[in-house]
Structures are given as C-alpha cells and as structure tokens.
Amino acid sequence: MSSFSFDRDNSLYKNRDALLEEYTPNNLVGRDDELEEYHAALQPIINGEAPSNIFLYGKSGVGKTAATRFLLNRLQEDAAKYDDISLSVIEINCDGLNSSYQVAVRLVNTLRDPADQISNTGYPQAQVYSFLWDELDKVGGTVIVVLDEVDHINDNSILYQIPRARSNGYLEHAKIGLIGISNDLSYRDSLSAKVRSSLCEKEVSFPPYDANELQKVLSQREEVAFHDGALAEDVIPLCAAYGAQDAGDARQALDLLLEAGDLARKDAEQVTDEHVQEARQKLERDRIMEGVADLTQHARLILYALTSLEAEGATPARSRDIRPRYEQLCKHIGTEALTSRRMRDHLADLAMLGVISSTEKNEGMSGGKYRKHSLKQDLQLVVSALEETIELAGVHDSIRPYYQSDAEESA
C-alpha cells in the first residue's frame, strides 16, 4: 500500500455494532415459553398487588439478562398508563461485588445523588441496610430490584433482608420485588431453606438454545447487521448448528457470526461456510490458548506430561501412567509434584476446559473403575499453548517435531 488513506469497507456490514455484546435487540425471539412464564410472574405488579420475588437461572448466554430487560421495559411502559401504579426498577450486576455488604452499598449509591455517595468501607452492615431502606422508601411505590449474576455474592444476607424488609417494619412506602439471576445452576441448592423460600417464590429456568432457536436469534440479528445477500445461504444454519452443539449459548453463536463476517470482509464479497469454519477454528484456538494460559503451573505441567505421551502414541493413558512423566517435569523445574489425588482433580479441570478428553473404564470386580485421558485438541495447538511451560521445563524428545522455539526458528 503506497498511501495510508482510509477507505470504508462496509460492503458486507450494514451495522456491525448490532453483533456486539452491548447491543440490545428490540425483540426477543425463540424464548416464547420462558417469556410467558416470566411475564406471568410479573403480572401481579400491573394489578397493583405485592410483587413476587423471582429467581431466574440458566447457563450463560441463554437470554436471561436480555429477557429481563425486555420484559421490565414493557412493564414500565404499561405501568405508566395507570395512575395508581408507581414502578421503579434498579438493576445491578453482582460480578465484582462479592458480599451482601458491597451489594447494599452499590444499591444505596445507585439510588443516591452522585454528590452523596457512601464508601465501600467504614459503616457497620446494619447501618448500610438502614441507608438502603431509607432510599427505597424515598422512591416509594413498587420497586423491582434486579440482582444479575447473583451467584457472585458469597453470603446470603441481602437475599434474606430485602424480601423481609417490609414485614420487618423497615419499609413503609416501598413494596419491593426482588429478581435474582444466576448463571450457576447449583446456586439455588446452595441457598439456605430460609433464603430459598423467600427469593424463589417464582422460578423461571432458561434452558440452552437448540439449533432452531439459535437460527431465529441469528436471523433477526442478520437483518440489522448485514446487507441483503451478504451471507451465503448456509451461514446462519451452520452457526446455529455449531452454537447448539457447543453450549446453546446465543453470545457464542453471535460471536461466531461476527468472526466469520470479519474474516470475509478482508477479501470476499460474501460470507461463506468456509469463513464460518475458519472462524470457528480461530475462536476455539483463542479459547484454548487463553484457557491454558490461565491454568496453574501444575495443571500446565500435567497437561505437558499428557501431551508428550500423546506425541508418543501412548494415549489414552491412566493417571498413574501420566504421573512418572509429570514427576520428571516437576524435577526439572525443581518443584514438588502434587499428590495423586490433586493431580486427578487437575485432569478433571482440563477435561472441563475441553483440552483433554477423559473416559471412564470399568473393569468390574477385578480392576475397578478408572479414567483414561487423551488430548482432545490438536497436538500442535496444545504445544503452542504450552510454549512457556515447555521453555521452562525443557523440550521433551517426543514433542520436538511439534515445537519450535524462537531460537530454533531463527537459526
């Protein structure tokens, strides 16, 4: 390129931003049953009755936050038509807030004037709650408090306090409806019976999306994001099929479409199946690279040990076969190997990450139950993800063909 001028390359995208996380669609598709249930749980509010507390749960990317915003917007619009209803909504995300105390502080500050904020330390918990009741009573009427990603909070105090504030006499003017949203499916069971009965008055579960539903989500977004004819016919069905196969996560499916669009934009006139395949590989690769980078050193050494066995064709391997190799690597870097039990925990985590696959064998009376492990990802990819660990612990002969250090590359 001789001149560095900038030309617009918007022949494929009409509005690329519509594929990003921040974009909120006007309408939700493919969630009819869940929306109906959720709608019914919110119905008392428009009747002027005491709001129910609602608990929403499902894995990430299944539309919990989107459905909440969508229905609460509608509810606010419709409530505005009635003179005898005053409805307010406060939504906060609990990611990054790890105690009820911090959540209460955040709620107080959301309700208060910017000039009148309280700090995250320095008040007894009871004082912060008392500030909260004061603020809520000032708002008055029906107040819906949404605690999104509520599973990040380590204690349940606020989930108990908010639903009971009125019956405990702390609130006079405000009727509170609490909506708790969790991405963690086991969270509900971890709640005490007392908290569960107040928070989970109404429950709505959001299952993963199937391919059909994902197609609807993606087609809706295609219309806003892409020009007519920018996508080859099979692109949406393919992204939807992969999305359903992976986790039924709409965010992941939208990310795949976005990545495919970005790849196509470089040199093609249309987004095709090949772009989707390539995008999928790239995203999977990024995910594995990031996942491995986030592992502890011992988890990486265990993965390295298994990788070297894989390169020798010695997989699937039992953990007792992986162990000597792992111990050898530990010795190289002068660290003590973890116990066999901890090692098996790490193998289970690696399987969760999707970098190895583990299958259970059952040899009945004689051999008992055990697991066999092998790499689930491309050997070359895992070796590159482990590059730093390999540099540290030394290059095992078996992986030499897959490993090129910077020094060897330039030699």
Ligand X SMILES: Nc1ncnc2c1ncn2[C@@H]1O[C@H](COP(=O)(O)OP(=O)(O)O)[C@@H](O)[C@H]1O
- Which spans of this chain sit near ligand X (rule: CB under 6 A)? 21, 25, 28-31, 58, 60-66, 183, 217, 220, 250-251, 254
Q: Which does 200 bind (CB under 5 to 8 A by kind): ligand X, Mg ion, none?
A: none
Q: Which of 63/316 has CB closer to ligand X?
A: 63
What's the CA gap between 77 and 217, in Å, rounded?
24
Residue-by-residue DSSP string for 47-86: TTSPPPPEEEE--TTSSHHHHHHHHHHHHHHHHTT-TT--
Q: Which does 106 bind (CB under 5 to 8 A by kind): ligand X, Mg ion, none?
A: none
Shortest Å, Cβ 53 to Mg ion? 18
252-255 CB contacts, 8 Å cutoff, 24+ apart:
252/61, 253/209, 253/214, 253/217, 253/218, 254/19, 254/217, 254/218, 254/221, 255/19, 255/283
Specify the amino acid at residue 110: T
- Closest residue to bound Mg ion by CB: 65
What's the CA gap between 179 and 324, in Å, rounded?
51
Shortest Å, Cβ 148 to Mg ion? 6
- Report residue 235: phi and psi, to 5°: -60, -50
What's the CA gap between 193 and 204, in Å, rounded?
18
Shortest Å, Cβ 400 to ligand X? 43
Q: Which does 257 bind (CB under 5 to 8 A by kind): Mg ion, ligand X, none?
A: none
Shortest Å, Cβ 153 to Mg ion? 15
Q: Which does 87 bind (CB under 5 to 8 A by kind): Mg ion, ligand X, none?
A: none
Q: Which of 178/329 has CB closer to ligand X?
A: 178
Length of the chain: 411
Shortest Å, Cβ 260 to ligand X? 17
Q: Which of 7/21 has CB closer to Mg ion?
A: 21
Shortest Å, Cβ 58 to Mg ion? 9
Q: Which does 30 bind (CB under 5 to 8 A by kind): Mg ion, ligand X, none?
A: ligand X
Shortest Å, Cβ 64 to ligand X? 3
Q: Which does 179 bind (CB under 5 to 8 A by kind): Mg ion, ligand X, none?
A: none
Q: Which does 251 bind (CB under 5 to 8 A by kind): ligand X, Mg ion, none?
A: ligand X
| CA distances to 25, 47, 161, 171, 360 from 42, in Å | 21, 10, 21, 21, 45
- Closest residue to bound ligand X by CB: 63
Q: Which of 200/247 has CB closer to ligand X?
A: 247
Query: Between 235-246 and 250-267, two packed helices, what is the crossing angle to 10 degrees?
Result: 140
Binding site for Mg ion (CB under 5 A): 65
Q: Which of 63/316 has CB closer to Mg ion?
A: 63
Q: Which of 143/217 has CB closer to ligand X?
A: 217
Q: Which does 215 bind (CB under 5 to 8 A by kind): Mg ion, ligand X, none?
A: none
Shortest Å, Cβ 72 to ligand X? 13
Query: Between 319-333 and 340-353, two packed helices, what is the crossing angle to 10 degrees?
Result: 100
DSSP state, residue 140: -
What lies within 8 Å, CB to CB, of 93 at 6+ separation is 148, 149
- Report residue 93: phi and psi, to 5°: -100, 130
Q: Which of 23/160 has CB closer to Mg ion?
A: 23
Q: Which of 218/375 has CB closer to ligand X?
A: 218
Largest CA distance in the chain: 80
